[in-house]
Amino acid sequence: MKEIVWSNTKINTLISCPRKFQLQYLDRIKKPSKGDPLCIGSGFGKALEEFSYNDKLTLTQLMQIYDTEALDHPAVISKANIRAHRYLVSQYFSDPKNVIKPAILNGKPMVEYKLEFKVDGIKFLGYIDIVSSKGFIVDYKTAKNPYTQKDLEPFSEKGMQLTSYALGYYERFGRIPKVGFQVVIKTNPIVVQRLTSHRTMDDIKKMKSKIIECDNYIKTRTNFNRYRSYKCKFCAYHGQECTK
């Protein structure tokens, strides 16, 4: 079996459905993701990223960045719907309080900061959306509904992403950072939600154990069970490769 480079997405996929993990990451059966929310989030995230590198960008330029990223995304269903969400960019950047100032490391802003580390020889890779000037790890999200404190829990479906980033940051810098989400709620006008949390050394140790556990799981199995849930009907493999 080829070595797996783990990520938070892969761990969550294995936990939610081992069969999907097998099809996607071991058998490497590629399926295109589809959905305008994915494209909207990608376009908005790209505008945020570029502004973090260059805060002199005008609103017109930021709109162009959103359009290029979102409209050309392979998952697009409705370009009209993508354009209808351009207001996310204009409203977000109209309020300077929304914009997070990045930390600077070796002369470069810590935006889309790459974390690559090993746990007992097992490779893990992640990209932090932004490390703030105050040393917080922040992950950007767009959503229909507000997040809750439960979403911040260290090993919830969403919160584990922050825990894995905290582990990587700890491995790189020797301290556990504060973590959180900045969520742009897709209402009109938008609502910008900020949620912050802490991770403990116990969380860091458990995250390491989780990575080791997942790696051992796939190395000791040849058959991967399908976990039936409401999510099945949204899965690209449903009814085709995944029929058992």
Q: Across the 244 residues of the chain, what is the mean pLDDT of every consecutive 10-residue run?
A: 89 92 89 78 90 92 95 90 91 92 92 95 95 95 94 96 97 97 94 96 98 95 79 75 66
CB 137 within 8 A of CB 162: yes
Q: Is residue 158 part of a domain?
A: yes
Q: Is residue 223 part of a domain?
A: no
pLDDT of residue 63: 94
Q: Is residue 164 part of a domain?
A: yes
| CA torsion angle 166 53 88 98 (round to 10) | 60
Q: Is residue 161 part of a domain?
A: yes
Tokens describing residue 51: 């502004």
Neighbours of 239 (CB within 10 A): 10
Question: Domain span at residue 117?
Answer: 101-218
Q: Is residue 185 part of a domain?
A: yes
Interatomic CA distance for residues 192 and 184, integer angstroms: 5
Tokens describing residue 159: 């919160």
Give the dihedral sign, CA 46/51/53/54: positive
Tell me if the bond preceding 37 is cis, omega within 30° of 0. Answer: no
Q: Tell me the CATH number at 112.
A: 3.90.320.10
For residue 34, which of 232, 233, 236 has the smallest C-alpha distance?
236
Q: Is residue 83 part of a domain?
A: no
CA of residue 7 relative to chain centroid, distance: 10
Q: Is residue 39 part of a domain?
A: no
Give the dihedral sign, CA 143/144/149/154: negative
Q: Is residue 235 part of a domain?
A: no
Interatomic CA distance for residues 93 and 84, integer angstroms: 17
Please count the structural domains in the chain: 1
The residue type at 130? I
**Residue 158: strand, helix, or coil:** coil
pTM: predicted TM-score of the whole model, two decimal places: 0.88
Residues near 205 by Cβ (< 8 Å), separated by ≥ 6? Answer: none
